[in-house]
Amino acid sequence: MKIGIAYNLRTDDTENSAENLTQADVDRLSDAFASLKHVPIPIEVSGKPQEVIERILNADPDLIFNVAEGTIGSSREAFYPSLYEQLQIPFSGGNASLLHMNLDKHLSKTVLAARGIKVPRGILVSRPDQEIPADLDYPLMIKPNSEGSSKGITQDSVVENPDQARDRIRDLLKKYPLGVIVEEFIEGKELSVPFLESFPRKLLSIVEHTFDLGVSGGKYNIYDYDMKQGGEAGKAVRVVCPAEITPEEEKSVFEMARHVFDVMDCPDLGRVDVRLREDGVPYFIELNPLPSLHPDASLMTAARESGLEFKEVLRLILRSATRRYHIPLRQPKKPSLPGELPGMPRVSARELGIFVGRLSTGINNAITDVKGVKVGHFTQYEDQVQLPGIPGTTTLRSGVTAILPAGGTFSRRLVAGGYVLNGVGEMAGLTQVLELGWLETPIILTNSHSVGMAHTGVVNFMTRKYPELAAGEEVVMPIVGEADDSFLNDPVGGVNTARNVVQAIESAQSGQVMQGSVGAGTGMISYDFAGGIGTASRVFNMDEGLFTVGVLVMSNLGRMRNLTIEGQVVGKTLDELYPMEGRRERQEGSIIVVVATDLPLLSSQLNRVSRRAALGLGRTGSYAASSSGEIVVAFSTANRTLRSASRSNHFINLRCISDSHINLLYEAVIEATEEAVLNAMFCSSGMSGRQGREAPPLPHDLVLDILRKGREIG
C-alpha cells in the first residue's frame, strides 16, 4: 500500500511550530511503514492550499496517514481531513468536525458536559474586560482555548485571586486572540488514557505525569509548555505507567474515557486527558484526536507497557482505518512459481479486505493472541532425495507444527476438551483429553506417517524438561494430530523425526505466526488449493473483562466447487476455470483444529466449544466427507491445577463461565475457525510436489473480483 504521510515540518524551536513534526519524526514513521512492507510517501502539507493539493495528488497515495496539525486559525487541524474528503482519499484519524470541535476546548467540554461527563466549571473569555463569574472557586486555571501541546501554559497559569486572573487574561489574549478558558483548577493527578481502536481493549494503560515542584519552581501540579519541550524544565517530570492509582480510581477513569470516545466517535487513535481530583473523582480536560506518536509521548509509553512496538502501533492504526474505508490493507501478491521454496507468505484474507464476521481480532489475528501461547514450525522441503534401498529420487514436502500452551503444561495442567466431527483421521492422546479433561503436553501437528515419531519427540522433550518423567515416576500422553500429505509428499521418505519435533517445539514463539505452506502444512491442500496452516483470533468484552479466543488449523480438506468465502460459494466459479486433471481425487482430506482461550471453562464446555469450531468449517464449504477426519482439540489457559495437588487433594476448585453467557464465545470460535481456514489458502504461494504434481495458489485477484460481483448482485 502507498501511504502518504501528511505532516507539517517543524523548522524552528518557537512555540508557533511546537505541534509540528521534526525530520526525525518523519523518518521514524517512514522507516516503520517500510518495515511493514508498505511504501511510505512523506508529504509536507504546509503552505498555500493549491500547492498542498498538488503535492497530495502527485503522491497518489492509497491512504493518507494524517499527522498534520496545521499552523493557522482555530480550524487548522480540521482543514486537512476536509481536504482529503474533497479529494476522495482515505485517511487515518478523525474527520474535520471532530478535529474542529476538539481544538475548541470550551466547545468540546460543553458538548461532553451535556452528555453527563464531569468537566471543570468555567467560561470562555474573549475580551479583557469580560466579567469572571463570582461563583467560580479559586484557584482558577487560565489557558488558550484553541491550542495544543500545552502552548500558553506556564507555572503562572493557575491564579489565586481576581487581580491575578485579570492580568493573566489580558496577557494571554494579546497572544491568543481566539479566546482563553477560565475554569476551576482541579487539584490532583495528571492522567492520560491513550486509545487504539484496533487494540483488543481499545484503551491502553493509564499514564500518569508527576512533577517535582522543587525543580519546576511552581506551586501547582501542572504540565506546562517548557516541561513538554524537555531540557532543564523537563527534568521535573516523571512518567508513571500504569498510573499509581487505586483499582476504584482506575475503573472510574477508564469509564470516563470510554464514555468520551463513545460520544466523540474518535476513529483509529486518540487520547483523553484527565485530572483525578484528590477525592478520586475524574474530570475531563481534553480529547486529542491527533495524539503525538513520539516515543516519549503518552500513547507510545502506554503501548510499550502493553508490549507494542512503534511499528505495531502503526499497524493497528492502519488496520482500523482500512477497515473503515473497506479497502485492502495490502494488494494481492503474485504467487511464487511452482516448485520455488516457500519464502515470505502471501497476505491474509483480512489484509485483502475480507472481514469474516463482526467481532474484533486480536493484535496478531492468531492463536498467539491468547497470552502465553506459542507456535513453532519445522519445514521439510527437499527435491531429488535419494532414499536408502529405493531406486531413483523423490520429493519431500512435509513438516511439524507445535502449539505450546502457556506455562508448564505437565506440572500445571490445563483444562481441555475436544470433538470428532468425522473420525477417519488420528489425534493421539485425544481419548485421554476427552476422558479426564486435562492437557499436559504441547500439541503437535504433522503428517500421517509421522505420528509415532512425533509422539517420541514430545516424550523426549518432556523427559528432559521434567525430572519426574526422567525418573520414570510418571508418563505422559502427547497430543499429536495428523493429516495425509501424500499427494505432494513422499509418504515413505517424508517422515518427520523425533528431533524435528523437538526443533519445532524449541522454535515456538509468540507474536505473528507463519501461515500457508509451512511446517505441518507444507504438503497440505485445501479446497484443491495449496495451504495447510492458518490461524485467526477474536476478542470479546464481558463484564469481567476482555477475553480472547484463538484458532489454528492444519487444513487439508475440501473440494474446490464448495469453497465459500463471506457466504459466497466462490468455488462454483473457480471450479470451471481450473482443469480437473491434476487434482487429488482419491483423498477427501482432513483438518485438525486447535482452539485456545483465556476464558475460564470446564472440560464439558470446551467440548461444546469444539463442536462450534465444526460450524466454522461448514461456513468454508466443508461437508465432513465420509473418508476425512475433522478433529478439534480445545483448551483454556485460565483453568489450571497443579499435578501434585490433583494427587493429594480430594477436591479441586475450578472457575468457569455460566452457560447462560457463553454464546459470545461460540460466535467468536466460529468466526476464528472460518478465517483460519481461509488464511491457510490465502497465505500460500502454491506448492509443487512428487511425481510432478502441483497444488495451485488461491487466485487472490479472481476471488476478490468474484466477491465484488456478488456484492453488486446482492
Residues with catalytic roles: 590, 628, 630
Q: Is 648 left (phi over 0), alpha (psi -120 to 50) or beta?
A: alpha
Cα separation, 1 vs 329, whole angstroms: 7
CB half-sphere exposure, 160, CA atoms < 13 A: 5
Neighbours of 258 (CB within 10 A): 15
Angle of the 105-114 helix axis to the 247-264 helix axis, nearest 10: 100
Amino acid in position 72 = I
DSSP character at residue 16: G
C-alpha cell, 35: 518495515
Amino acid in position 59 = A
Q: Biggest alpha carbon distance in the chain? A: 102
Contact (CB, 8 A) for 105 and 146: yes
Contact (CB, 8 A) for 622 and 630: yes
C-alpha dist (Å) from residue 698 to 33, 530, 678, 682: 27, 7, 10, 6
C-alpha cell, 682: 490465502
C-alpha cell, 710: 456478488
Nearest to 626 by CA among 585, 593, 588: 588
* Phi and psi, residue 403, nearest 5°: -110, 120
Cα separation, 633 vs 603, whole angstroms: 11
Contact (CB, 8 A) for 539 and 548: yes
Neighbours of 279 (CB within 10 A): 7
C-alpha cell, 454: 512425533
Nearest to 19 by CA among 6, 28, 9: 9
CB half-sphere exposure, 595, CA atoms < 13 A: 37
**Residue located via cell numbers 457463553:** 662
Name 478's Cβ contacts closer than 8 Å, sequence gap at least 6.
428, 429, 441, 442, 444, 454, 455, 458, 459, 462
Cα separation, 599 vs 666, whole angstroms: 12
Strand partners, 143: 181
